[in-house]
Chains A and B, each alone.
Chain A
Amino acid sequence: MQLDVAFLIDWGSAAIRLATPLVLAAVGGVYAERSGVFNIGIEGMMLSGAFVAVAVSYFLGAADPAVASLCAAIAAMLAGGGMAFVHAYLSITRRADQIISGAAINILALGLTNTLYRVVWGSAGRERVAGFPTIRIPILADIPVLGPILFDHSLIVYVAYVLPFIAAFVLFRTTWGLNIRAAGDFPLAVDTAGLSVTVTRYVAVVFSGMMAGLGGAALALGAVRYFTPGMTAGRGFIVLGAIVFGRWNPILASFACLLFGAADALQLRAQALSIGIPYQFLVMLPYLLAVLAIAGAIGRSSPPLALGRPYRRGER
């Protein structure tokens, strides 16, 4: 393989494809953390989303692929949202430790999907299902180099293009967004203003779970179109890194995801390219950058002030 235009298109297109599930989950994760709840369970919520998406698409096999994938995406969001609701209940209402609750959800999702995988598909193993339809945007896709990289993808990729900007607008320019940010930085203010910290955090956490579920659907139905046990393989944790590296900003976090997607895509091609960097260093890059970002080595990156702290009335 050579470093030429064909490689660039192949690499760029793969980077976008690999970044899409991360972007979707990261946008949700930013909301949860901005509201003051750490969601370490994104990995498990993505995995549940991936499983449910493939299962629904499988059972709707006879339906139109577009309808099947839409139903699958909705089901995946419900699955992720359901998992997130458990996390919200334990960490907000019950004030349990958010890390432990999230970690338990990751284990639960792995156990449930592994077990149900056998129930649904038996020993038949993986079976390809209908995925998101591929859309080649006319005119734009004809732009040299950039066109095929950016505008020849499955439907869900385009969702990931616009979502971060909408999410950022809502978070930084609307009252809802202000509520969420205040709940994470200074919940007492939200409470004093007569608004509910609990409701705000529930909404943000369940939204985070739904986006993680959708991210899982994007992972499973975007390219491979089947489910393998544990297929998220740590992507939920990369998302956590991207949130930190993206300074809790949906747009920056999404660009961090894109960078990590590009590193992942390069890693898959590194051996064929013989660029001299062992692929392991490319795989560890996202995590290393997240640590450097939070350590203050790359700009300033400080979390929401009340992140990880349950809110109790009358307590400061």
Chain B
Amino acid sequence: MAIGRGYSLRQMLRTAAYRAVTPVLSVFLAFLVSAAIIIAVGTDPIVAFGSMLNGAFGSQTALATTGVRMTPILFTGLAVAVSFRAGIFNVGAEGQLYLGAAFGAAVALLPIGLPAFIHIPLALIAGFIGGAAWAFVPGYLRAYRGVSEVVTTLMLNFVAIQLVSYLVDPLVGPIGERGAAYAQSAVIDPAAKLPILLRGTSLHAGLILGLALAVALWILIGYTRLGFRMRMLGANPIAARFAGVKSAREIMTVMLLSGGIAGLAGAVEVIGLRYRLFDHFSPGYGYDGIAVALLANSNPLGVILSSGFFAALRAGANSMQQATGIETSVVLIIQALTILFLIFRPLRDWIGSRAGRPPRLAQDSLIDAA
């Protein structure tokens, strides 16, 4: 089902083009419906979408903003995609992101006097560990006790958010800045800050890390033993067991990997952009990851495109609001409609019948695995 060995380049391109039809059409339909809403509100959708496009790609600053917005959801999208491929539904990327941010910040705050090329990786590793630790309990319960990971990961999101809020509490928090107006930690050690890519903007090296991770995961899933076992688990857990895949151990591995990647999202956000740990700093990056992974059909390289798309929506929304007065939350409607059209089977079936073979999205394997 994935691009594997033995495919010619032409076949690979054809498969890729075929796979892109449903996502592109879903996005198109979502924009169409949103245009109707914008007309109903009394604005020209061409003007609205034009200003959105301009705000996302129109200038160097706009591109940098899109890149900054893209970084966290690229990581969380990858985190969710990895779990989807193994038939696991990690809805807890949000909480893992917060724990990753807390762990990453804890290391980044230490004035250990090490050079950046050591301090930064240490903070990133801490972030990975934090996220993975937060995914451990749901992973264990799913792998060894058969408890669905959906409710546990979801509930732990809210626990994580409160935990971070406590950590940086200006009155009692262990790393909270005393007497600060906001709930925040102190500024991290300069050596732990990720380098800025574009002078005068906030675009930081986290984006490069995310892109590299996407390629690495694409190789991992498509071309390694672990990736093969993961995909097998996702496609048919019973067959996987017969083939000797130790599903419990595999589920643990995938959950820890997925949680760790979500944790990286948080750590990168702290050491790349904000330089402090704030409470409630994520506007739902973990949940955006679900939409990102879904739109990408859980393909790590596709995640690059879909996270870029959602980031452009967000970055463009502000200039759209300035130009037309339309609420930025229109992008939420676009995002939601994209997902709804994606999972609306007649659309997929219709495309499937055109293309001559049945489409297969991540949630098929999710249902089978449930």
**Cβ–Cβ contact B343 & A308, under 8 A:** no
Q: How far is the CA of A103 from the CA of B357 in the complex (A)?
A: 29
Residues of B within 8 A of A296 (CB): 145, 147
Say yes or no for B159: interface residue by CB 8 A criterion: yes
Digitize A280-313: 1 where CB-to-B-CB distance is under 8 Å, 0 elsewhere.
1101101110110011100000010001111000
Report the minimum CB–CB distance from B173 to chain A (whole Å): 8
Residues of B within 8 A of A114 (CB): 327, 329, 332
Report the minimum CB–CB distance from B162 to chain A (whole Å): 4
Say yes or no for B245: interface residue by CB 8 A criterion: no
Q: How far is the CA of A263 from the CA of B343 in the complex (A)?
A: 38
**Cβ–Cβ contact A237 & B339, under 8 A:** no
| Residue from B89, B162, B336, B346 within 8 A of A99 (CB atoms) | B89
Residues of A within 8 A of B236 (CB): none
Say yes or no for A66: interface residue by CB 8 A criterion: no
Residues of B within 8 A of A10 (CB): none
**Cβ–Cβ contact A111 & B137, under 8 A:** no
Q: How far is the CA of A309 from the CA of B332 in the complex (A)?
A: 28
**Cβ–Cβ contact B340 & A103, under 8 A:** no
**Cβ–Cβ contact A308 & B150, under 8 A:** yes
Digitize A195-221: 1 where CB-to-B-CB distance is under 8 Å, 0 elsewhere.
000000000000000000000000000
Say yes or no for A67: interface residue by CB 8 A criterion: no
**One of B52-60, B104-112, B164-172, B261-269 contacting the partner:** B164-172
Report the minimum CB–CB distance from B153 to chain A (whole Å): 9
**Cβ–Cβ contact A237 & B340, under 8 A:** no
**Cβ–Cβ contact B154 & A107, under 8 A:** no
Q: Which residues between 78 and 96 of chain A lie within 8 Å of chain B, taking CB atoms?
A: 86, 90, 94-96
Q: Give the dominant DSSP class at A's interface.
A: helix
Identify the closest chain A residue to B91 (Cβ).
A99
Say yes or no for B209: interface residue by CB 8 A criterion: no
**Cβ–Cβ contact B367 & A294, under 8 A:** no
Interface centre among A99, A101, A234 (most CB of B within 10 A): A99
**Cβ–Cβ contact B150 & A99, under 8 A:** yes
**Cβ–Cβ contact B367 & A104, under 8 A:** no
Q: How far is the CA of A237 from the CA of B155 in the complex (A)?
A: 8
Say yes or no for B312: interface residue by CB 8 A criterion: no
| Residue from A94, A278, A295 within 8 A of B166 (CB atoms) | A278
Interface centre among A280, A281, A283, A294 (most CB of B within 10 A): A280
| Residue from B158, B331, B345 within 8 A of A237 (CB atoms) | B158
Residues of B within 8 A of A256 (CB): none
Report the minimum CB–CB distance from B106 to chain A (whole Å): 17
Q: Which residues between 154 and 211 of chain B lie within 8 Å of chain A, taking CB atoms?
A: 154-159, 162-163, 165-166, 169, 172
Say yes or no for A157: interface residue by CB 8 A criterion: no
Total residues of chain A contacting the partner, CB 8 A:
48
Residues of B within 8 A of A107 (CB): 287, 291, 332, 335-336, 339
**Cβ–Cβ contact B152 & A291, under 8 A:** yes
Residues of B within 8 A of A229 (CB): 329
Residues of B within 8 A of A96 (CB): 343-345, 363
Residues of A within 8 A of B294 (CB): 100
Residues of B within 8 A of A237 (CB): 154-155, 158
Residues of B within 8 A of A111 (CB): 329-336
Identify the closest chain B residue to A245 (Cβ).
B155
| Residue from B152, B162, B291, B345 within 8 A of A281 (CB atoms) | B162
**Cβ–Cβ contact B331 & A101, under 8 A:** no
Residues of A within 8 A of B290 (CB): 100, 103
Q: Which residues between 159 and 210 of chain A lie within 8 Å of chain B, taking CB atoms?
A: none
**Cβ–Cβ contact A290 & B333, under 8 A:** no
**Cβ–Cβ contact B344 & A284, under 8 A:** no
Q: How far is the CA of A206 from the CA of B279 in the complex (A)?
A: 36
Residues of B within 8 A of A310 (CB): 367
From known contacts A104-B340, A114-B329, infer whether A281 and B166 are also in contact, taking CB-CB under 8 Å: yes
Report the minimum CB–CB distance from B275 to chain A (whole Å): 23
**Cβ–Cβ contact B339 & A100, under 8 A:** yes
From known contacts A104-B340, A280-B165, infer whether A115 and B333 are also in contact, taking CB-CB under 8 Å: yes
From known contacts A240-B151, A240-B154, infer whether A104 and B339 are also in contact, taking CB-CB under 8 Å: yes
Q: How far is the CA of A278 from the CA of B172 in the complex (A)?
A: 8
**Cβ–Cβ contact B327 & A118, under 8 A:** yes
Residues of A within 8 A of B150 (CB): 38, 40, 99, 308
Interface centre among A110, A294, A307 (most CB of B within 10 A): A294
**Cβ–Cβ contact A108 & B336, under 8 A:** yes
Identify the closest chain A residue to B89 (Cβ).
A99
Q: How far is the CA of A101 from the CA of B91 in the complex (A)?
A: 13
**Cβ–Cβ contact B343 & A280, under 8 A:** no
Q: How far is the CA of A295 from the CA of B145 in the complex (A)?
A: 8
**Cβ–Cβ contact A295 & B172, under 8 A:** no
Identify the closest chain B residue to A118 (Cβ).
B327
Q: How far is the CA of A101 from the CA of B341 in the complex (A)?
A: 10
| Residue from A115, A290, A295 within 8 A of B141 (CB atoms) | A295
**Cβ–Cβ contact A284 & B159, under 8 A:** yes
Q: How far is the CA of A18 from the CA of B165 in the complex (A)?
A: 22
Report the minimum CB–CB distance from A79 to chain B (whole Å): 16
Identify the closest chain B residue to A111 (Cβ).
B332
Residues of B within 8 A of A290 (CB): 151, 155
Across the A-B interface, give the 6 residue pairs with the lowest CB-CB distance, nearest first. A111-B332, A114-B329, A108-B336, A97-B363, A111-B333, A96-B343
Between A and B, 23 residue pairs with Cβ closer than 8 Å are A96-B345, A99-B150, A101-B340, A104-B340, A107-B287, A107-B332, A108-B333, A108-B337, A115-B326, A237-B158, A240-B154, A241-B151, A278-B166, A278-B172, A280-B165, A280-B166, A281-B166, A287-B156, A288-B159, A291-B152, A296-B147, A307-B148, A310-B367
